Structure 1
Amino acid sequence: MAGIALWLVPPPAQREDLQRIMDSRPPPSASKSKSPKSYPHFEPHITLASSLPSSLSTAAILASVPKKDDGTTLHIHFKSIEVGDHYFRSVCLDIQPSPSLLKLRDDIHAALRRHEGTDPKSPRFPHMSLYYIDDSEPEERHIITNHLVASGQAASHDGGVRLGGLSGFDDAEIWVVRCEGPVGEWETLGKMNY
């Protein structure tokens, strides 16, 4: 992933709960991970738009976010935990694609496309990655997923999944993040409440 991204980030309390889970690891006796690229620290987020050019200002990116109607709440519901075949989608939460979430993404993409040379992406939308694991270690993705279930940190619940007691979150923050270089060097450029 390179360039600038626009993320939907859980509110602070839920972000902390999710981060505790994302920082957990399988027991050393179970883990086979040797790669320094596996298990980097990053903030929980749903990518609304990525591959934005670095020349696009933070203000212009945040201005692409439509105003939220007064009194409305954006509900994010966790659908399932999935093991993927791509580094940035190694182990992720599939998110229920609600009409309001899809409209938010579509409106942002339409606004961003008005800037020359901007073609926003949001692969496998909507999802929230829990772990990035080196593509050379696909078995590790299953090991950490099994660990989440065995340790009681993840469980099926009402047609979805609960992770650390959370089945989703309401409302959020929107962050602009420079996603260049190693994950640990990504930089938050701006934030707004949504």
Structure 2
Amino acid sequence: MGLSLWLVPNPAQLQLIQKVLPKQPETRPVSAASYPEITPHITLASSRKATQDALLRAIPSTLHPIPVEFQKLEVGDHYFRSVFISVKKTTELVALHEHIMAALDRDGASPSAPAFLHVSISYIADEDGVAERKKAADELRATTVVEGPETGLDDAESVVLRCGDSEGGRVCLTGFEGTEVWIVRCEGPVQHWQVLHKTTATPGVAQD
């Protein structure tokens, strides 16, 4: 896969989301490659040709926090999109993505971003099949994910993540604030991926 640029939630929200991600089930056998620990993120671009310096140049010199809104829990047909939450296409997200893709194109990096605008919740190996992916999604709906009209939001296509309780009551997320862009080397098994660099957004107005 080469190098990737990820938009990552702020540290507090990242910790909340990671707490409720599916883990290896104890009641049924699955592949060792299924349910690895992952960092929830939006992949802004990936490239086999790009260098770390090229990715650094592609990140806007002024990076502001990006609001991300969850849209729908979905089951996919690819390991890296086994169970994911689609994300609403906002001008801020599209502008950041287009800026990065154009910069990498100018560097001859041939960037890609398959199924741009999704946050993967679980990676499940092909040998475990669609049935295991659907099972994981159903278990999320039973414990963590609230969808559609049940969210109490006006938008029929919306998702809320129940992330546990705190002193102030139940913690629920309808999205997150993307405050960091990471450069990640995605080679080999997921547990061997390396975070090479983190760029932190400057608080203030949202990304133009």
Same fold (TM over 0.5): yes
In the alignment, what sits opposite 2:112?
Answer: 121
Question: Tell me, which stretches of 5 or more residues in structure 2 are unaligned?
Answer: 163-171, 202-208
Give the 4+ runs in structure 1 shifted more than 6 A.
Answer: none
Whether the 8 Å CA contact 2:65–2:179 is kept in 1: the answer is no
Give the superposition deviation at 1:97: 0.8
Kept after mapping to 2: 8 A contact 1:175/1:189 = yes
Task: Give the Cα–Cα distance (whole angstroms) in 2 for the partners of residues 20 and 114 of structure 1.
Answer: 39
1:134-180 superposed Cα distances (whole Å, 9 cap, x missing partner): 012221111111111112x1102222101121111124200000000
Q: Per-residue deviation at 1:107?
A: 0.7
Number of matched residues? 184
Aligned to 1:167: 174
Q: Which residue type is aligned with residue 59 of structure 1? A: D
Contact persistence 2:74–2:85 (CA under 8 A): yes
Tell me the residue number matched to 2:55.
61
User: How does 1:103-142 map onto structure 2 within 5 Å?
Assistant: 103-116=95-108, 118-137=109-128, 138-142=130-134
TM-score normalised by structure 1 residue count: 0.88
User: Contact conserved, 2:22 with 2:136, CA < 8 A, in 1?
Assistant: no
Aligned-pair CA distance for 1:7: 0.3
In structure 2, what residue type is equivalent to 1:51? S
Q: Determine the structure 2 residue equivalent to 1:46.
A: 42
Contact 1:25 / 1:144 at 8 angstroms: preserved in 2? Answer: no
In structure 1, list runs of 5 or more residues that go unmatched: none
Counterpart residue identity of residue 141, structure 2: V
Is 1:187 the equivalent of 2:194?
yes
Task: Check if 1:36 corresponds to 2:32.
Answer: yes
Which digits, 9 at most, give the CA deviation of each residue in 1:85-142, with x for residues without a partner? Answer: 11000000101011110111011000011113x1111111100100000012221111
